[in-house]
Amino acid sequence: MPELRVAPRRALLPPLIGSKPVIRISAELPGSASKVIDAVRSLGLEGVIAKRRGSVYQPEERSSDWLRKKLANQQEFVIGGRRLDGASIDALLVGYYQAEELKFAAKVGAGFTPHIRRQVRLKLDPLRIAACPFADLPTMGPSRWAEQMREMV
């Protein structure tokens, strides 16, 4: 494979990536590393990958010419509810605490196999409480899960 320099390599990326929504190529970001990181952090992005401008591509080799700075946007979540589907869990409702209130964050259902759904229900059934714990569980929109959640607690 011929060695390509940075600019020609970068020009080859857009046609290869196409319109895939999970991959984005940013414009070159001018400024010091700390200014670029501050700008990326202010946008709420996951991190920065940088390549030394004059470096040469080395297939299948790790190189110190590539730098990655991950900006840890992390949040602890608690299970605040569940949506039942017969004898198993259809989805979990998770939230986070803010000002001593449990705020709704998301409905999580992906990745549950039928066996795990049943196991999770068995673990959660004894922890059932009498009222919906969310301060702001959404009720608007086409989904029916919010009202089902309120009826199940």
Model confidence at 150, in pLDDT bands (50, 70, 90)?
low
Residue 96's pLDDT is what? 93
List Cα–Cα distances, 52 to 38, 40, 47, 61, in angstroms: 19, 18, 17, 15
Contact 83, 90 (CB under 8 A): yes
- Domain boundaries, position 41: 6-70
Give, in degrees to the nearest 5, the angle at Cα 53 between 20 and 45: 40
Q: Which residue has the higher pLDDT, 16 or 122?
A: 122
Question: Do 146 and 89 share a domain, yes or no?
Answer: yes
Same-domain status, 65 and 122? no
Nearest to 133 by CA among 91, 96, 89: 96
Residue 1 is assigned to a structural domain of this protein: no
Write out pLDDT tens, residues 117-137.
888 888 888 988 888 888 888
**Measured between alpha carbons, how far is 81 from 108 in angstroms, rounded to an integer?**
10
pLDDT at 1: 44
Quote the CA–CA distance of 58 and 62 in Å, as a whole number: 8
Q: What is the pTM of this model?
A: 0.48
- The answer to whether residue 90 is domain-embedded is yes
Tens of pLDDT, residues 39-94: 888 988 888 888 887 787 777 888 888 888 888 777 889 988 777 777 788 888 89
